[in-house]
Structure 1
Amino acid sequence: MTETTETTTVQDEVLTEVRGQVLIITLNRPKAKNAATENMAKKMAEILDDFESSDELFVAVITGAGNTFCSGMDLKGFVRGERPSVEGRGFLSLTEQPPKKPIIAAVEGYALAGGFETMLACDLVVAADTAKFGIPEVKRGLAAAAGGLVTLPQRTHRAVAMEMALTGDIYSAEFGKTNGFVNRIVGDGQALDAAIELAQTIAANGPLAVKASKQVIVESADWSTEEKFAKQSAIVDPVFTSADAKEGATAFAEKRAPRWTGK
């Protein structure tokens, strides 16, 4: 039986739940469409640090309560001088320094502004067919500085990123899938379950291999043709000599599920 643990209180703006090796993070301000606050950013920093250091958790899923992912920054807090970010880590402590382990966004409803940029900081995106995306900061006299201007062009075509940033318009899940920033589209209300299923598929694999694979894909964008295989070797060679690599081969030969140790 899969172990499930949950920590929630009425006033918590960020909730966590563990299902096996998967951490589920829920942004929990549904009445405000999960608009991000300074307090949420600080809590996210703690949660993500614990996730990264855990030997038991392999993949995280981030979602929002109340059929909305995140509508962006809490503008009332912004007027008071608050920012929903942590220095060096970005919006919700995620956009500038994502975890080294995989993280999946499960999107229902709106992922706008900082919410969209939070989604972009995730490695994979599962979206309901009714989900809506956009970086409408220009409509408020602001700029999409949490990743909309620098990360989105890496996840889609330059022309698409330019249109989204300059118009501030809202776009559909199908638009996101067509233009490369949504991986899977599911029915309304099914995004979290589908994201957890995807996370569990990833978590069943060797954690060292998964982590190294993500690292190479993320970092190789800046590698030259001449250096890419040498730099890749520095990251993946330890995987091939790990106890997990031996266990994976042994489990295959013995026709059983591998027992990973992360070593």
Structure 2
Amino acid sequence: MSESDLTSQPPDIGDAHLVVSFPAPHILHVAFDRPAKWNALLSKDNWALDAIWGWYESEPSLRCAILGTTSRRAFCAGGDLIELGQKDRKPWPDSGLAGLAKRALRKPIIAAVNGVVIGGAVEMLTNLDVVVAGESAVLSLPEAKRGVHAGGGGLPRLVYLIGRQKAAELLMTGRDVPAPEAERIGLVNAVVPDDLVEARALEIAQQTAANSPDAVILSLYGLRLAERHAGYQGMMDEYFSSRELQVLLKGENTREGLRAFIEKRPPRWVNSKL
């Protein structure tokens, strides 16, 4: 597929750390491309991705999308903590990390995961439809180690996928989860050799694109309705407006966690005021 087959042109992503391509008919491929920073996303990257997904949803010739990486070192390390730690930090789109964490999707998106997936990027994955991971991939939710909150918007979906106790363990410890374990507990659909991740994701995308786009969209709509009626949005609204979150955001431990990360030293926590 080439851009000439599209009915509208992709948005201008400027100098965002992304590579956009069309590997097969009706398929969009977007790759994170900031390998030196483990594909940690800046505000401009999130805004560019928000524009890309909005365009993808509206472009009738596209039926499936793949989100991958140009480097096997990392899929995505979440938001850039150095930028997030700045007093004049730039805002993100309402759709959240990668323009996906909080987006109500209509069309399918497949994740092609190589390398590390950290923090909000794990929560973002829970909002995608299929996750193919390389056997060396590692997922982790280290927010507690950084003094920040798990605010990617995916906490209720995380509980839905893997259960409250398993989600609690991962959030409490911040430990790494190897791809085979992630598959066993339901965070990943399939684990394949690292050099076959993109090929497997493309195979699933082509199988999807060969089907009726109306039937695919309606099937996904039904699944999203099930999530909506489970009350996910209400749960996140209550979480984001809670007194506890406001205390954490203004607290010393949040500042200390980010300082320690930037200064590459162990954090010196104070007793909780929650």
Contact preservation (8 Å) 2:13, 2:48: no
Determine whether 1:216 maps to 2:222.
yes
1:21-48 deviation line (CA, Å, top 9, x unaligned): 1110111111111001100011011101
Gaps of 5+ in 2: 5-9, 231-274
Higher relative contact order (CA 8 A, sep 6+): 2
Q: CA deviation at 1:84?
A: 7.0
Map 1:195-214 → 2, pairs under 5 A: 195-214=201-220
Give the equivalent residue in structure 1 for 2:66. 61
| 2:262 alignment partner in structure 1 | none
Question: Contact between 2:46 and 2:98, CA under 8 Å: does it hold in 1?
Answer: yes
Following the alignment from structure 1 to structure 2, what is the Cα–Cα distance between the partners of residues 154 and 64? 27
Using structure 2 for the length normalisation, give the TM-score: 0.75
Pairwise mapping of residues 112-127 of structure 1 onto structure 2 (< 5 A)?
112-127=118-133
Moved over 3 A (4+): 4-12, 221-224
Contact map agreement 2:127 2:154 (CA 8 A) in 1: no
Q: Do the aligned partners of 1:120 and 1:147 also contact (CA within 8 Å) in 2?
A: no
- Count of residue correspondences: 221
From the superposition, tell whether residues 54 and 142 of structure 1 become closer, same or farther in structure 2 (CA, over 3 Å).
same
What's 2:242 paired with? none
SS at structure 2 position matched to 1:152: helix
Residues 160-195 of structure 1 deviation map (CA, whole Å, 9 limit, x = unaligned): 111111111110111111011111111012212211
Counterpart Cα distance in 2 of 1:77 and 1:142: 14
Alignment correspondent of 2:182: 176
Query: In 1, distance between residues paired with 2:91 and 2:98?
Result: 6
Q: For residues 84 and 66 of structure 1, what CA distance do their matches in structure 2 show?
A: 27
- Asked if 1:25 is matched to 2:14, the reply is no
Structure (1 or 2) with the greater helix fraction: 2
Deviations 1:80-112 (A, max 9, x none): 24357312x122221111421011111000011
> Which residue pairs with 2:19 in the alignment?
15
**Residue 68 of structure 2 aligns to which amino acid in structure 1?**
T
Q: 1:134 aligns with which of 103, 117, 140?
A: 140
- The answer on whether the counterparts of 2:101 and 2:152 sit within 8 Å (CA) in structure 1 is yes
Q: CA RMSD in A?
A: 2.2
TM-score, normalised to structure 1's length? Answer: 0.78
Aligned to 1:71: 77
| Superposed displacement of residue 9, structure 1 | 9.5
Residues 149 and 223 of structure 1: is their aligned pair in 2 closer, same or farther, counting only changes over 3 Å? closer
In 2, are the aligned partners of 1:103 and 1:123 still within 8 Å (CA)? yes
Is the 2:101–2:154 Cα contact (8 Å) retained in structure 1?
no
Structure 1 residues not aligned, in runs of 5+: 225-263
